[in-house]
Amino acid sequence: MVVRVIDGDTIEIEGGQRVRYIGIDAPEIAHPTEPAEYFGEEAAERNRELVEGKIVSLERDVEDRDEYGRRLRYVWLGDTVINAELVRLVYAYAYSLPPNVRYQELFLCLEGEAREQKLGLWAE
């Protein structure tokens, strides 16, 4: 169960563990010393609409955790990979960091389509 959305690419699940979405990077929301990045609040809100309060499945790639101790996962809601959905809906960038590259081609393809159509993050 997703109990809280931290931002556009990080959630908190039951038990208090944080999960960082693999293969994408969403703009940051405001921090105490820095303003929100362009589209950061929108990305967090869309992520919230997609997963908050819902039961999701977590898929691991090669590495289990990042340097901050967050679980690295592909987040599934039914048959939808939320990581890919956020790129498709243009709230996140494709950002693969080897060795966790299972869906890299999909994410890059979705980002390319959004760029061509100048949608969301890619709008002029």
Nearest to 103 by CA among 92, 115, 117: 92
Would you call 70 a catalytic residue per the annotation?
A: yes
Question: Do 4 and 12 meet the contact criterion of CB atoms below 8 Å apart?
Answer: yes
Which of the residues 46, 70, 73, 88 is marked catalytic?
70
Would you call 20 a catalytic residue per the annotation?
A: yes
Rounded to the nearest angstrom, the gap between the alpha carbon of residue 72 and the centroid of all alpha carbons in its chain is 11
Euclidean distance between CA atoms 50 and 43, whole angstroms? 11
Burial of 27 per CB tally in 10 Å (0-12, 13-18, 19+) = buried
Which of the residues 28, 42, 85, 111 is marked catalytic?
28
Question: Do 81 and 103 meet the contact criterion of CB atoms below 8 Å apart?
Answer: yes
Which of the residues 12, 14, 18, 20 is marked catalytic?
20
Which residues have a catalytic role annotated? 20, 28, 70
